[in-house]
């Protein structure tokens, strides 16, 4: 049995270059899927997993994230005074409360990579394994982190990463697990290969943005020289710990959307809009009108 996961880390200090110019003034993590910012989905997921402390690794230029995440009593009071009590109540329920919740904001002043962002959380993390959630990997359905935390509690120790089956062609876009065995939803691995050529991919089990990591990840990150692109890569540190600790993938039950890309964001938006009565009506009308001109190639 492993120690409980008490800390969730949200790295949110990246540049969001793939969404420029939208992300020039608005952090990528606040881009909405219909009416809910990406970061909110990740917070809800971590809450369901029962973590005690949430650490946001942000950047001074992204202060809007803190404004969204934390409770805004003044806004709620204004809404209540105007009779919009249901909206005020909904905001209260989703926001983190400075008194009741254990929340830390810490800064990564330069975007030196995901691994570096996780290392920035070190002094604030509670003892034991940590969870890392990348908000631009949106996972809908049952809380992926809650599923992983349950599975991790049964595991002996080591690192666990969320895993998803992809086509052979898509392996080039992900970290791919080198699989040694399977046990239900748990995929045992002895390493992972970053973005392999499809013909060299060791499996079709792709790693996506949820991690439960042994606390020694911080030492491995601190002792690690910069990797690809001069950044401190989280996957390099996980790989370094694999031989010592073991590595498992977890096949989560939900649906994952790559909301770091325009296509993934659009897919998520369409799927959620189809579930929302107000939007579904519009969507149906637009699609059945036959008036959308699709352009699938960039050629004029
Ligand atoms: P991404 O690589 O998807 O985000 O990192 P990015 O770098 O902001 O986006 P692009 O590639 O330029 O479009 C996944 C998560 O890790 C955070 C990001 O904010 C995002 O939530 N991150 C990334 C950091 O906090 N610090 C970094 O140095 C890099």
pLDDT in tens, 17-31: 999 999 999 999 999
What is the SS3 assignment for 83?
coil
CB 237 less than 6 A from any atom of ligand 1: no
> 260: closest CA among 10, 14, 8, 9?
14
| Tokens coding 68 | 């969204």
CA 158 – ligand 1 centroid, Å: 25
> 38: closest CA among 14, 21, 73?
14
Mean pLDDT on 155-166: 91
Mean pLDDT on 68-90: 96
> 5: closest CA among 235, 159, 118?
159
% of the chain residues with pLDDT over 70: 99
CB 226 less than 6 A from any atom of ligand 1: no
Residue 2 has pLDDT above 80, yes or no: no
Mean pLDDT on 241-269: 96
CB 260 less than 6 A from any atom of ligand 1: yes
CB contact at 8 A, 208 and 163: yes
Residue closest via CA to ligand 1's atom 21 equals 12
Count of residues making up the chain:
300
Distance from C-alpha of 53 to C-alpha of 127, rounded to nearest angstrom: 11
> 163: closest CA among 254, 237, 233?
254
CA 162 – ligand 1 centroid, Å: 18
CA 229 – ligand 1 centroid, Å: 13
DSSP for 171-193, written as a single string: GGGSEEEEEEEEETTEEEEEEEE
CB 134 less than 6 A from any atom of ligand 1: yes
Residue 214 has pLDDT above 80, yes or no: yes
The atom of ligand 1 lying closest to the CA of 231 is 28
Residue 299 has pLDDT above 60, yes or no: no
Mean pLDDT on 204-215: 97
The preferred substitution site among 108, 114, 228 for testing ligand 1, maximizing ligand atoms within 8 Å of CB, is 114
CA 145 – ligand 1 centroid, Å: 19
Fold of 7-260: Spore Coat Polysaccharide Biosynthesis Protein SpsA; Chain A (3.90.550)
Q: Identify the band that residue 298 occupies on the pLDDT scale cut at 50, 70 and 90.
A: low
CA 138 – ligand 1 centroid, Å: 14
pLDDT per residue as tens digits for the range 171-203: 999 999 999 999 999 999 999 999 999 999 999
CA 163 – ligand 1 centroid, Å: 19
CA 227 – ligand 1 centroid, Å: 15
Residue closest via CA to ligand 1's atom 10 equals 16
Mean pLDDT of the chain: 94
Strands (E), the chain: 7-11, 32-33, 36-37, 53-58, 102-107, 130-133, 137-140, 159-165, 175-183, 186-194, 205-213, 247-251, 255-258
CB 28 less than 6 A from any atom of ligand 1: yes
CB 113 less than 6 A from any atom of ligand 1: yes
CB contact at 8 A, 216 and 247: no
For the chain, give every domain's residue range: 7-260, 264-291
- Specify which residues 107 forms β-bridges with: 58
pLDDT per residue as tens digits for the range 258-289: 999 999 999 999 999 999 999 999 999 998 98
């Amino acid at each position: 049995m492993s120690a409980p996961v008490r800390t969730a880390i949200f790295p949110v200090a990246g540049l969001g270059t793939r969404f420029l110019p939208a992300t020039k003034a608005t952090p990528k993590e606040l881009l909405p899927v219909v009416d809910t910012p990406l970061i909110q989905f990740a917070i809800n997921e971590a809450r369901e997993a029962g973590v005690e402390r949430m650490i946001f690794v942000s950047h001074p230029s992204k202060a809007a994230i803190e404004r969204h995440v934390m409770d805004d009593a003044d806004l709620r009071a204004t809404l209540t005074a105007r009779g919009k009590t249901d909206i005020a109540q909904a905001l209260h329920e989703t926001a983190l409360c400075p008194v009741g919740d254990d929340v830390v904001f810490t800064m990564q002043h330069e975007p030196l990579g995901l691994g570096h962002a996780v290392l920035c959380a070190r002094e604030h993390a509670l003892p034991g394994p940590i969870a890392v959630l990348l908000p631009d990997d949106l996972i809908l359905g049952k809380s992926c982190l809650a599923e992983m935390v349950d599975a991790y509690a049964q595991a002996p120790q080591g690192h666990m990463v969320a895993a998803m089956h992809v086509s052979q062609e898509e392996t080039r876009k992900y970290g791919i697990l080198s699989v040694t065995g399977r046990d239900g939803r748990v995929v045992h691995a002895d390493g992972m290969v970053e973005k392999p050529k499809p013909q060299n991919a060791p499996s079709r089990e792709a790693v996506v943005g949820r991690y439960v990591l042994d606390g020694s990840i911080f030492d491995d990150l601190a002792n690690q020289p910069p990797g690809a692109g001069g950044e401190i890569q989280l996957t390099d540190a996980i790989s370094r710990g694999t031989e010592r600790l073991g590595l498992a993938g977890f096949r989560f039950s939900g649906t994952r959307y790559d909301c770091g890309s325009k296509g993934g964001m659009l897919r998520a938006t369409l799927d959620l809009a189809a579930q929302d009565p107000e939007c579904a009506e519009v969507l149906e009308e637009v699609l059945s009108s036959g008036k959308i001109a699709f352009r699938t190639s960039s050629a004029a």
